[in-house]
Amino acid sequence: MFVVDPKKYRFQTEIQQMMFVFGEVSDPLPETTTLVEDIVRSQVIEILIQASAQASRRNSRYICAEDLIFLIRHDRAKVNRLRLFLSWKDVRKNTKDGSGDSVEDVMEDTNTVYRSIIKLPWELVNQFLDVMVKPSNREDESEDEDEVEAYNDSIQRLREADEVTRAMSREEYVHYSECRQASFTYRKSKRFREWANISSYMDVRPNDDIVDSLGFLTFEMVSKLTTIALQIKADLAEAAKKKEDDAVKPGMKRKRSSSLDLLAADHPTTNIASPKSTSTPSDATNSNEKSNNGPNGKEKDEPCGLFTLPTTEQSPLLPEHIQEAFHRLQQAPEPLKNLRGGLVRTRISLI
């Protein structure tokens, strides 16, 4: 039996909830969840190392949110979601500090909430903001293509969640809603710092924005790993089923035809095509009872009819599925740098 060390693996419950939201069973294997936690921890450490190196190039000791966004700049959808997350976090903080009310109450009273837009310094358009004509209306300024794309992406995720929860009962939907709120960092900043051992990789303690951004990225990591692992599992099951069908169907046809030929040769006067004509009502009753019972006398499952759904129980993900998903995510195309040949240490690609 696999035993999980609670001192080393501190986010098993959160990972189980996140994987359930993304399509996994509600009780995944502990071997799978511990492997996911190991991968996420290694990814967080790699992010901290690369972000610290990026901050040192700016002659700064502190990591800012732009350093984290720069590391995932190639994934535009994730960048847009992170920028939207940070902008709304800033709105909640300023609203709470200013009036003490929540964002929902302020929106009900004024019907307007102004959000700060995070400008990325490496984008070309942001280098000419001083000479560009700014719009007179703040609403026009807040309209950004990236924000629209992030909004469309969130709407697509909500549609997918609606498809998953459409057949759920009230209790199942309440459990699903609680699992959607799972986080590595929400009210767990101290545990997250100790879990990732941030003090060993950074000289200065990161602020709350960095910790919340790392929590957002860990959620995206679990989402990516679970989604790709489920796709790999479905592909393997489909390939195995196709291989089994290709191997069984020809053999079954040959076996059936040979048995019929043998019966016809041994009993030439028997009508094989209509066996019901030679059977009695008692034989029919016995045959029906035998067909409804299995080899041990137990009743079989009810057949799947036109208006009955098939009884299919989803099997949990195996560690091999997570390993293959991580392997595929590490196969990112990189430019050829080793022109002299020999062995070169490859960097870990961020999920």
pLDDT score recorded for residue 308:
53
Gyration radius of the chain over CA positions? 30
- The predicted structure's pLDDT at residue 229: 95
Query: What phi and psi, each to the nearest 5 degrees, are found at residue 293?
Result: -105, 155
Mean pLDDT of 287-302: 50
pLDDT of the residue at 331: 72
Most confident segment among 116-125, 140-149, 183-192, 277-286: 183-192
What is the model's pLDDT at position 125?
A: 54
Q: Please, which residues have CB within 8 angstroms of residue 189's CB and are 6 or more apart in sequence?
A: 208, 211
Share of the chain above pLDDT 90, in %: 30
Taking alpha carbons only, the member of 35, 40, 23 closest to residue 316 is: 23
Phi, psi of 299 (to 5 degrees): -75, 140
Task: Give the C-alpha separation, 50 to 70, whole Å.
Answer: 10
Lowest mean pLDDT among 4-13, 85-94, 208-217, 244-253: 244-253
HSE-CB at 61 with a 13 A cutoff on CA atoms is 3
- For the stretch 130-183, pLDDT in tens is 555 455 454 444 446 767 777 788 888 888 888 888 888 899 899 999 999 999
| pLDDT confidence of residue 273 | 46
Rounded to 5°, the CA angle 215-216-217 comes to 90
For the residues 23-40, what does the mean pLDDT come to? 93
**Tens of pLDDT, residues 51-110:** 999 999 988 888 988 899 999 888 888 888 888 888 888 887 777 666 556 555 544 555
Categorize the per-residue pLDDT at 29 as very low, low, confident or very high, splitting at 50, 70 and 90. Answer: very high
